[in-house]
């Protein structure tokens, strides 16, 4: 893993000096509060839990996470530093992982800043804090899966807007692929077995299972394999760029 820490620190510093990073954090926190307390009817539900908070995370991540990942490789390609980076004694897999984990840590810090909501729930009642912790971990896994898609697709283009749109499009497919409306449409062209297999790739289905307060091994493996698959694809793309 040559050069991992060097690239990792470089990416974290880039987030620290990039206005987009601060805008991301502020927008994430504001929208989380709005969706929880107003759209999610937090107070009228009369329950001391964070279900209204977490149920909107997939859609928040769909819009915001691509903004955190779109610059990871597109900026390197646009500025012409990618070729230099790939010629340094830094393995492309190390660089791919370093950029991904730096972005994941950044999003994780934004998620951690929502802890006042957890404190608020404990002030108002007696929630199952174990279940809430599991939901936080599930949210972090979901964010990691979205980020892995963005990390890969940002290596496929020089344009940040294109990388953003592609990540949103792929992420949206992952979210809705298991929904009844989508399954009904696909049922006209695909056999039942294929539909069931596609439904197993649904981010929503796995995240909603975690929202029940149980972090099942199957859900962990699913998100881990998704992250691994997309980062591997991103590493292959970098290899193709180096070959060119």
231: containing domain: 4-243
What pLDDT score was predicted for residue 1? 60
Per the CB < 8 A criterion, the answer to whether 235 and 96 are in contact is yes
pLDDT digits (tens, 9 = 90+) for 59-115: 999 999 999 999 888 888 777 777 677 776 677 888 899 999 999 999 999 999 999
Q: What is the pTM of this model?
A: 0.91
Q: Where are the alpha helices (DSSP H) in the chain?
A: 4-17, 19-34, 42-45, 51-54, 57-69, 71-79, 81-87, 92-112, 115-124, 129-154, 160-176, 180-186, 192-199, 203-210, 217-243
Element (H, E) at 215: none
pLDDT at 216 over 70: yes
Helix (H) or strand (E) holding 70: none
23, pLDDT greater than 70: yes
Q: What dihedral do alpha carbons 112, 118, 123, 124 form, nearest 10°?
A: 150
**How far, in Å, CA of 49 to CA of 180, rounded?**
27
Structural domains in the chain (count): 1
């Amino acid at each position: 893993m040559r050069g991992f820490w060097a690239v990792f620190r470089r990416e974290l510093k880039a987030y620290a000096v990039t206005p987009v990073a601060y805008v991301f954090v502020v927008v994430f926190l504001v929208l989380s509060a709005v969706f929880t307390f107003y759209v999610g009817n937090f107070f009228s539900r009369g329950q001391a839990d964070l279900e209204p908070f977490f149920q909107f995370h997939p859609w928040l991540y769909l819009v915001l996470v691509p903004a955190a990942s779109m610059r990871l490789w597109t900026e390197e390609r646009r500025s012409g530093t990618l070729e230099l980076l790939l010629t340094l004694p830094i393995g492309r897999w190390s660089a791919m992982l370093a950029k991904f984990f730096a972005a994941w840590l950044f999003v994780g810090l934004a998620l951690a800043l929502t802890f006042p909501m957890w404190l608020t729930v404990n002030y108002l009642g007696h929630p199952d804090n174990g279940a809430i912790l599991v939901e936080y971990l599930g949210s972090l896994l979901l964010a990691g899966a979205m980020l892995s898609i963005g990390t890969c697709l940002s290596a496929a283009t020089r344009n940040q807007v294109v990388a953003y749109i592609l990540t949103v499009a792929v992420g949206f497919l992952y979210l809705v692929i298991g929904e009844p409306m989508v399954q009904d449409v696909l049922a006209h062209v695909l056999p039942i077995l294929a539909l069931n297999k596609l439904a197993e790739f649904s981010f929503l289905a796995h995240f909603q299972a975690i929202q029940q307060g149980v972090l099942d091994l199957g859900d962990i493996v699913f998100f881990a394999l998704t992250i691994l698959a997309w980062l591997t694809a991103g590493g292959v793309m970098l290899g193709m760029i180096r070959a060119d």
